[in-house]
Structure 1
C-alpha cells in the first residue's frame, strides 16, 4: 500500500507499541483499512492512537530504600537514603543522579547499582505504569553488609527508595500538549474558539492575515483526535489547522483519576 500511495505511512510507535497508520484524512484511512481487509485479508482493530502520558513529582523529599533478607545461606542486604525532587525547568536532561556519599558508608562499587535501580523504576512508573520524567536524585546516606550486600541488593534498594520518594513528593500524571494553529474566516472564529475551549484548550494570541484570522492555542493531544474533520465540518471546509508537540503539563485531577483507573484496571 505504501508503494502505491506515497501519502500513506505505517509505523510502530515505540512508546505505545501500537501500529500507527497515517494519511490525508479519516476518509483516506477508512478506504485503506477497507482495502487491507478486502485485498489482503488483514483484519484491523481500529481506534485512536494511545496517548503517551508521563509521570513526575512536585517537590523535594527524602526517602529510604532497604532490603534485608536471610534465607539460610548468603543473605541480601542493601540500604540507601536519597533526596529527590523535580529538575529545574532550564535543565535539558531528563534525569540527574548525584553521589553525595562520604565516609564510605556505601562502597563505590554499589553506587552505580543504586542509580540503575532508580532508572529502572522510572521506566516502570508509579501511578499507572507510565515513565517518570524530570527527576533529580541525590544519594546521601546508607549502609552495607560485608557478606550479604551485592549489586543486585542495592539495585532493589534504589528502586524502593525511588518509589517511596515518589509517593511522598506528590507523584502526578502529565499529558502531551500541542501547539495548535487554526486559520479561519472571521465569520467562523467564534465557533473555532468555542470548540478549542471545549477541548480543554488554552487560546493564546489571535492575528489577522488578509481575510483570515489566525488563532493559536495550547491543547491536550488526547482531545485532538479527529479535530481536522470536525474543523472542516464547523467551517464548511474553509479553515485549516496545524499542530506540533509543545510540552508536558499536569493532567487535571478528575481526568487523571479516570486515566489511572483505566490503566490499572480498577
Structure 2
C-alpha cells in the first residue's frame, strides 16, 4: 500500500546515506524494488531493520548475483547511422576497434576506456565526446544476458560526417547502436564476483568443511591450526554462498563461524555461463508477462 511504500522509501534513503555499499534500484520489467550489498548476510540485516524500525512488511525473493560481461578479443567496427525524415536528417559514421582491457582491474568496476585517433577533421572535434558518451550509455546492459559491460576499450580511428545532418545526438545514437550490435564480435564472456572467505571451526570438522567448500567451486588458500581450532582461508564464487551460514552451523554443530568479503571478478566456467544465460532469459520472460 501507499503508506508502506513511503516507509520503504524512507528506510532505503536512510540506509543508502549511512552505507555506501548498500544500493537500491527499481526493476523496470517487474516494478520490484531491488537492493544490492556485500552479500546475503549484509542484505538480511537491512531487511530485518526495515521490518523492525520502519514496520515495513517486505516480501523477499531469492538473492541474485550481479554478473558482468567482458570482451575476450578485438573486434573492428565500421558503423553508419543514417535517418532521413521530412526536414534535416541524421548522419554519423564511425570506424575503429573494440579491444580488451588488461585484467589488472580485478575490482570489476564499470571499467571502460575511450581513445580517439581521428585526424584531419574526418569527424569534427566537437562530436568526439558524443561518440564516447554513446558508448558509455550502452555499457549498463550487455548483449549476452543484460549485465553491465566491463574491461572494454573503444578506439575511434576514422569516420565521416554530413555538414547539415550530423549532430551531437546523431553521433551518440551511432555509437550506442554500434556497441549494442558489434559487441558480440568480441566473443564476450560472463564474469562473476568471487568472495574471500575465512572460516573458523573446531579441528574435528576441518576435513568436512574444507571438502564442502571445494564442492561449492571454492579454492582453499591456507589452513592454520591453533589448539583445537582450525582457520580455513579460501575463495568462493558469491553464487555458491547463499545459505552458507545455515549449512556451516549444521556441519559443525553450531560451532563454526565465517567472515566473507568481496575479492575480485573472475570468468564463469562455460557450462555454468549457459545456465546463467538461460535463467536470466526465463526471468526476463516472466517479468515481461
Query: TM-score scaled by structure 2?
Result: 0.78
The aligned residue for residue 250 of structure 1 is 267
1:13 aligns with 2:23: yes
Pairing partner for 1:144 from 161, 165, 173: 161
User: Unaligned 5+ residue runs, structure 1?
Assistant: 1-8
| Alpha-carbon distance in 2 for matches of 1:241, 1:55 | 30
For structure 1, which segment, 52-61 or 239-248, has the greater mean C-alpha deviation from structure 2 after superposition?
Answer: 52-61
Q: How many Å apart are 1:81 and its aligned residue?
A: 1.3
Indicate the residue corresponding to 2:83 in structure 1.
Answer: 69
Q: Contact between 2:75 and 2:185, CA under 8 Å: does it hold in 1?
A: yes
Aligned to 2:280: 263
Kindly indicate whether residue 236 of structure 2 is the aligned counterpart of residue 222 of structure 1: no
Partner of 1:5: none
Cα distance between partner residues in 2 of 1:74 and 1:225: 55
Is the 8 Å Cα contact of residues 184 and 240 (structure 1) preserved in structure 2?
yes
Q: 2:222 aligns with which of 197, 205, 227?
A: 205
State yes or no: 1:192 paired with 2:209: yes
**Cα gap change, 1:142 to 1:196, in 2 (>3 Å):** same
Paired position in structure 2 for 1:80: 94
5+ residue gaps, structure 2, are 1-13, 17-21, 27-32
Residues 1:72 and 1:201: Cα distance change in structure 2 (over 3 Å): same
* Residue 241 in structure 1 maps to residue 255 in structure 2: no
Compare the two structures and name the one with the higher helix fraction: 2
TM-score for both structures, normalised by structure 1: 0.84
Deviation at 1:66, TM superposition (A): 1.5
CA contact (8 A) 2:51 2:58 kept: no
Give the match's secondary structure for 1:83. Answer: strand
How far does residue 163 in structure 1 lie from its aligned partner after superposition?
Answer: 2.7
Give the count of matched residue pairs. Answer: 254
CA distance in structure 2 between the partners assigned to 1:101 and 1:118 by the alignment: 16
Return closer, same or farther for 1:61/1:236 CA change in 2, 3 Å cut-off: same
Shift of 1:34: 11
Q: Look up the match of 2:4.
A: none
Which residue, 108, 118, 124 being the options, matches 1:101? 118
CA contact (8 A) 2:80 2:91 kept: yes
Q: Give the aligned partner of residue 71 of structure 2.
A: 57
CA distance in 2: counterparts of 1:25 and 1:116, whole angstroms: 37
**1:116 equivalent in alignment to 2:126:** no
Name the CA distance, whole Å, in 2 between partners of 1:73 and 1:61. 35
CA-atom RMSD in angstroms: 3.1
CA separation in 2, counterparts of 1:100 and 1:109? 14
